[in-house]
Amino acid sequence: MAGSATPMMKQYLDLKKEAGDSLLFYRMGDFFELFFDDAKTAAGVLDIALTSRGEHGGEPVPMCGVPVHSAEGYLARLIRAGCRVAIAEQVETPDEAKARAKREGTPSSKALVKRDIVRFVTAGTLTEEALLEPRRANMLAAVADLRGTCGVAACDISTGRMELEECTADQLGAVLARIGASELVAPEGWDEAPFDAIARTRTDFASEAGEAALKRVHGVATLDGFGDFSRAMLGAAGGLIAYLDHAGRGKLPLLLPPVARSSSAIMAMDEATRASLEIVAAQNGGRAGSLLGEVDRCVTGAGARLLAEDLSAPLTDHAAIEQRLALVAEIHRDPLLRADMREMLRAIPDLGRALGRIVAGRGSPRDLGQVRDGLIEARRLHGVLQSRKDRPALLDALLPHLTGHGALTDLLSRALIPSPPTERSQGGFIAGGYDEGLDELREVSGNARRAIAAMENRYRSETGIASLKIKHNGVLGYFIEVPSKHGDALMTADSGFIHRQTMANAVRFNSLTLHEEANRIAEAGGRAIAAEEAHFEELVGEVSASRERIAATAAALARLDVSAGQAERAAEGGWCRPEVTNDTSLAFTGGRHPVVEAALAKQDVRFIANDCTLSGSDRLWLVGGPNMGGKSTFLRQNALIVLLAQAGGFVPAEAARIGLVDRLFSRVGASDNLARGRSTFMVEMVETAAILSQAGERSFVILDEVGRGTSTYDGLALAWAVAEAIHETNRCRCLFATHYHEMARLADTCPALSLHHVRAKEWKGELVLLHELAEGAADRSYGLAVARLAGVPKEVVARAKSVLDKLEKGRAETGGLAAGLGELPLFAAAAEAEEEECDLLREELQALDVDALSPREALEVLYRLKQEAGTAGD
């Protein structure tokens, strides 16, 4: 690679120019090599050695590489690090390169094997099993903006599912948050929002191009049979398909007919609400600790992916919700059916993703076997379910998709061995008896191998060398090997052996007979592999021709798995079937937070259930009480119960009645967003503004501590005004948690507002949090008690108590919240702390029931009080 224009360097640089900002995996033999800055980047991400190869422009060329056979693992790490990779493969053999050079008049010694980029690997275009998470969809989304109206196209190319949607520019963030795409395709220059993993492209996002692309992909003259798509939807679809065409270098993945998603058919939730409720991911980004992580009892990856979609997009269609609930109820009421279903589903491979790899041209014999096995198991499941009487409507709709593949499964069963391999280059995956010609070739090859074994025995006998062996490798083919000390005996001209190679401890030979047998094996083996490859392509064609029907079977199996998993979770936790209505009431008896309850159960602690009833005449609850008392948990659990019900599942409560919620808002907890120039308080106000501008009578809102990020007066004023607006203007169902006791006066002027609090009490100077909800306003603030419970130093708590006393006295005397603070001596805190400790000791003594103490208990109390009294006097 010396100099600046070697043929290989020129080829690499040409390909790198085509790869753009993608790392170029340049195939050289058994390795993918990377050069220049690509090598530096990859070496840093993969933690592999950075070396050099030759020079370019007078400078050493940085280089690193990864083995081809283990490239998938390295690709996965690069993709997770945010890299894109272009794969440059050898597209001709060395012999073909020499023949081409001869035709072009170039010396064969300088023939360079032709390479080309065969594929771009990006976060949203993965299909390989090793690169995907089995229980998480891998969505690719594209956005088209047509004069303020946004079209969104989203697909998971590993299964082919594709959806189109239209929204306003203001709704785009919420739509993309729901989709959770791994990669976003947008027009060049589009920067409406700071989304990560944006692939900006010059692709035409025009609606006409999108319509033409969809027609071409699905071989139809009109899209009317698929649905009614707006121009914005078609523009996004065009951009998405063009990007996939570029990534696959003209080879499109599996794309099923698109489905138009109506925003009115699903419960609207903004990004802040999704993050606050931790629906599919916890605050740390992981699955553990999220609603999905706690609810998921699916036994297949496809079911887990569908459950995540259900929870991300709860329904607002009453009939559709009832269909899901009826199927869950049917499985829930029959434990034996549930167990049988889950056992059969557990044996079913990921049919949808196997199909996706096959159609994308990346399939293997194992994928064909998975399609076969999945279809066979689906038919078995059909046999169990069709015998049910009074079947739910959704089950009746799913059953036809579980059968009807008899001819295909018969073909695949006859053609494939029981457990086909992942690699097909070595053959061996076509079953015996399927092709007589292939069987004969295998027989020839097998006979030749037996002949070689017999030849080895004969040569040992003839030469008297018991250690003589006939071996094989990829360079020499078959050869005869003897230890070095016997080499000379076979070197004579009349020995019949032809010397090939001398090793340190062995000598290798050939023979005419061995050469003839080796040729027979090679010829038969090559023809057998070619025959198997032809059968593979035929089977791929048959599967691809049935792609839509197979995909429908995969979708039906996933829905059954979700329903069975929901029934299993309900049986585990004593969950109930919710009653979903078209009014605006919410009524939960014994409601629980599923994630918190599970976490407490691991500590052998019982979760305290609470009721909640919101209706037109009592639609706004003002909830007070101490921090850590359970207010935030109570707010969130009610939102999650609504979400679970409208996703079509049972809920963690004794009883639940839910008037359909069209929009769900959660402003519980806050954090800053410094990257966008927003403080914690600014984030809080932005989220509150969104609620006030969007919530309607069918919405459900949970609000926690509005106004806490600013001064007390400002915060109270804002909280008061927000509560009034929700009561008078939005008129939605709302749970409003606050520490501002003054807001209890709102009950005098807001007839649909009621007061509630989480109970707590102090006993022997300690705060006891009861986690129970009660009617009425909180009787007092427990801030200092919580601070003491949290371990704040006692002198600081004592100082705070003194400040609080002055504040309350000043407010009572002058109406000024800060009156009297100037007269409070700072260094009196130590004396006041001592006095408070003495007060606590007095309280504890007064609380003692002396007559109930045993002599030993009395002595222990005396020792402890003496020790505490000594500490108080320090």
Backbone phi, then psi, for 593, in 5-degree steps? -90, 115
Instruction: Take residue 817 and report the two structure tokens written for it.
Output: 């919240």
Helix spans in 603-703 (H):
631-646, 680-694
Q: How would you label 437-470 residue by residue, b for 16+ Cβ within 10 Å and e otherwise?
A: ebbebbebbeebbebbeebbeebbeebebeebeb
Q: How would you label 480-498 residue by residue, b for 16+ Cβ within 10 Å and e otherwise?
A: bbbeeebbeebeeeeeebb
- Number of Cβ within 10 Å of residue 662's Cβ equals 17
Q: Say if residue 682 carries a ligand binding annotation.
A: no
Residue with tokens 């999108």: 210
CA dist 790 and 783 (Å) reads 10
Backbone phi, then psi, for 618, in 5-degree steps? -150, 60
Q: Say if residue 631 carries a ligand binding annotation.
A: yes
Q: Say if residue 263 carries a ligand binding annotation.
A: no
Give first-to-last CA distance, the chain, whole Å: 81
Quick one: which of 694, 678, 652 has its CA closest to 171? Answer: 694
Q: Say if residue 632 carries a ligand binding annotation.
A: yes
Q: Say if residue 474 carries a ligand binding annotation.
A: no
Residue 757: its H or E element: strand 753-763
On the 0-12 / 13-18 / 19+ scale of CB atoms within 10 A, 269 is buried
Asked whether 634 and 623 are in contact (CB, 8 A), the reply is yes
CA dist 81 and 93 (Å) reads 34
Task: Give Cα separations from 166 to 170, 177, 663 (angstroms).
Answer: 12, 15, 17
Asked whether 787 and 800 are in contact (CB, 8 A), the reply is yes
Q: Say if residue 794 carries a ligand binding annotation.
A: no
Quick one: which of 733, 724, 573 has its CA closest to 639? Answer: 733
Backbone phi, then psi, for 702, in 5-degree steps? -120, 130
Asked whether 90 and 115 are in contact (CB, 8 A), the reply is yes
Phi-psi label, residue 90: left if phi above 0, alpha if psi -120 to 50, beta otherwise: beta
Backbone phi, then psi, for 820, in 5-degree steps? 90, -10
- Number of Cβ within 10 Å of residue 734's Cβ equals 26
3-state secondary structure of 161: strand
Instruction: Take residue 475 and report the two structure tokens written for it.
Output: 């360079």
Expressed in percent and rounded to 5, the helix, strand and coil fractions of the chain are 50, 20, 30
CA atoms in the 13 A half-sphere facing the CB of 493: 0
Backbone phi, then psi, for 315, in 5-degree steps? -85, 155
Task: Give Cα separations from 411 to 368, 456, 535, 547 (angstroms).
Answer: 11, 41, 11, 16
Q: Say if residue 628 carries a ligand binding annotation.
A: yes
Q: Say if residue 743 carries a ligand binding annotation.
A: no
CA dist 183 and 191 (Å) reads 15
What 8-state DSSP symbol labels residue 758? E
Tell me the binding residues for ATP: 625-632
Tell me the binding residues: 625-632
